[in-house]
Structure 1
């Protein structure tokens, strides 16, 4: 990887939320250890629990990430999405070839999501214990193995089990990518880098289904899993060659299960962290409501052809990516918490407009599409900013914190997104779920954080 340009550490956004919690004792910040990041700023050993302390010094980024670094982390974050989306067109073929029902075939998707959520909770503490490189190298290698085993699965039950394992191992790439960002960056810098990742991650749902459809059409659904294995091999090599260790040995946590559980207990006791950690999931729930319901809304409800639907899906995907890049530029001048607390009310207002259009039919299809595009363009403003703010509060257990955020995102969005189908699967149901998710996110921000209180980040 080319040499990165040195720059000063960003000022922490301490006006936005209460002081981040650290594992220990206010002393002069230590020099950055080898491999990037900084040692945690200790807190006074005699400080009583709950006593306000000075903000922890943020890690001093040793370099400015270039496009190859962003591409690497983006590929790691996108691995679960690619493993999901490239397989979507093959579901009918899987059901037919394995002589099972469509519902059973869909369980292979659900199993992977559940496996991913569990995997993040397990692998996060492991990355705090053994460093960042080792867990992701092992996890991606096992992704390759399970992908090959999926390609030769003899029946639906083994395939469901293997997909759960695949999701578990895929989680290593996402958790480590998030933890690496926290090791090196905080605040606006972290939010900006996460927004840049959306450019890479956003490509997956745009092109993966088409690529998977072509592969399955030419060589069958089993070849899709061989393609995933090949992608895993390429990712493993790139990680091996390009990903530096960002958690030196002196900053790693010792201990086993008890230490991991203690880390999660620490996170759960931090109400502001929990609030920020669930907001990305509620933001993604808005997106997933659209992804799940749009084929039925646009193709069956409005009679669009497969080609027209694919074109609109791509246009909305461009809105998602564009919104993430606008956020990346905006955080250079505006604190992440200020962006979140402005975007959430605007997003809620737009989802209400979408619901009114769906109920009344006013403006027809074009009005619905415009409102939908604007909503999706705002989706990627909340997850990177909320995640960066949450991670900044627990840098000493960044892997565990990243795992908590990722598992919360998978769990919340996984529970909320199917609601549109249960409510009827039409435009009204889709819009209603979007309204509910946006409203809940706004309530969490308003009631569980000081974002809308005096001194909560609007000034200072």
Structure 2
């Protein structure tokens, strides 16, 4: 039976889930600039994205677990405070090692916006209503990865890359105040005393949880590996300014909007597992298209730029159809231990995201072929796993 929460607004949900994504992408237009100022290689600077997800992985475990013991609201407020400290540390960083450490702290705090908000949603809605809520929020959040580069590109171009991190400090203060005044407590008291070993055992023996965990990790890994490579492709190869590159991200985000809206409409006639498989296939087609384009030979012309945008559009369209349905289904049978289950599950899939983005940084070689080849391998695996999930649902 659906239990209504104490009216936290949809806007608050969107902000709390969205600010970690903005934090991840806001400084991507500055990556070449940061590498130059800190005297680091492009691959080393790309590792700051992987470090973010590693901190995020440990954060979702800690904050999800903590939300079961002290409550959803306190866990959220403390996490945002830690996030603000990490942002200020990034602003002060004078070396790539310092930046890596502060990115870990920043992500550790930001992760509360993901895991605790998802827990509130899962314990407050069920069935088709839960799928629709995740799809609706995902549609709104499709612009957050684009808002980040847009803001970051113009701030970097006008004030330098350090001002980007100072912008995040100001944003964290505003989010903390909004959360303090608007987020009620939604924890169910009966879920406080939970055995973490028992929950872990349940998750590890659940094949569907493994499948959804891989799909969420792979889709997010592809998405943020793209954001790691995109500045070097569009700024260095196509000679875009950071400001123009930031605006360009909005066009790409339209694929995410369309994908989540399409997913929501398809839920009327199709099961979520079928939509997940369709999205995986579409992403694979996008990866193949990018490979074909790279093999033919890409030049810094408007025509090739448009063709690359179309291929990326197809790739991200499939991803945006897959993610919300996986998030909605993954812990559908863990309503009695949502906070702890979400913490363990989040730790697992964000480790996958970190490993995938690390793989992209290791494969970075200045060519336009490595990224689509990497994405093709990942999307083939996604199609196979989504097929197994669909078959298990039928049985």
Give the alignment's TM-score, normalised by structure 1.
Answer: 0.74
**What's 2:270 paired with?**
334
CA separation of 1:326 and 1:420: change in aligned 2, threshold 3 A: same
Does structure 1 conserve the Cα–Cα contact (< 8 Å) formed by 2:276 and 2:325?
Answer: yes
CA separation of 1:142 and 1:174: change in aligned 2, threshold 3 A: same
Does structure 1 conserve the Cα–Cα contact (< 8 Å) formed by 2:155 and 2:164?
Answer: yes
User: How far has the Cα of 1:164 moved from its partner?
Assistant: 1.2
Does structure 2 conserve the Cα–Cα contact (< 8 Å) formed by 1:359 and 1:428?
Answer: yes
**What's 1:241 paired with?**
181
Cα deviations by residue, 1:299-336 (Å, 9 ceiling, x for unpaired): 666x4644775565321111112211222333244331
CA separation of 1:278 and 1:188: change in aligned 2, threshold 3 A: farther
Structure 1 distance, partners of 2:280, 2:56, is 27
CA separation of 1:389 and 1:72: change in aligned 2, threshold 3 A: same
CA separation of 1:278 and 1:359: change in aligned 2, threshold 3 A: same
**What's 1:439 paired with?**
380
Q: Secondary structure at the match of 2:250?
A: helix
CA separation of 1:229 and 1:446: change in aligned 2, threshold 3 A: same
User: How far has the Cα of 1:293 moved from its partner?
Assistant: 3.3
User: How far has the Cα of 1:217 moved from its partner?
Assistant: 4.5
CA separation of 1:182 and 1:430: change in aligned 2, threshold 3 A: same
1:56-455 matches, within 5 Å, as 59-62=1-4, 69-91=9-31, 94=34, 105-153=45-93, 155-254=95-194, 259-297=195-233, 303=238, 305-306=240-241, 312-360=248-296, 366-420=306-360, 422=363, 424-447=365-388, 449=389, 451-452=390-391, 455=394
CA separation of 1:180 and 1:333: change in aligned 2, threshold 3 A: farther
Structure 2 distance, partners of 1:369, 1:154, is 35
CA separation of 1:252 and 1:350: change in aligned 2, threshold 3 A: same
- Number of aligned residue pairs: 389
User: How far has the Cα of 1:382 moved from its partner?
Assistant: 0.8
CA separation of 1:163 and 1:71: change in aligned 2, threshold 3 A: same
User: How far has the Cα of 1:295 moved from its partner?
Assistant: 4.2
Structure 1 distance, partners of 2:336, 2:387, is 27
User: How far has the Cα of 1:139 moved from its partner?
Assistant: 0.8
Q: What runs of 5+ residues in structure 1 fail to find an aligned partner? A: 1-58
**What's 1:29 paired with?**
none
Structure 2 distance, partners of 1:300, 1:93, is 11
User: How far has the Cα of 1:110 moved from its partner?
Assistant: 3.4
Q: Report which stretch shifted further, 132-141 or 198-207.
A: 198-207
Does structure 1 conserve the Cα–Cα contact (< 8 Å) formed by 2:283 and 2:317?
Answer: no
Structure 2 distance, partners of 1:364, 1:216, is 27
Cα deviations by residue, 1:163-216 (Å, 9 ceiling, x for unpaired): 211211111111101111111123332222122222343222212223224334
Relative contact order (C-alpha < 8 Å, sep 6+): which is higher?
Answer: 2
**What's 1:31 paired with?**
none
CA separation of 1:356 and 1:94: change in aligned 2, threshold 3 A: closer
Give 1 or 2 for the bigger CA radius of gyration. 1
User: How far has the Cα of 1:357 moved from its partner?
Assistant: 4.0
Q: What runs of 5+ residues in structure 2 fail to find an aligned partner? A: none
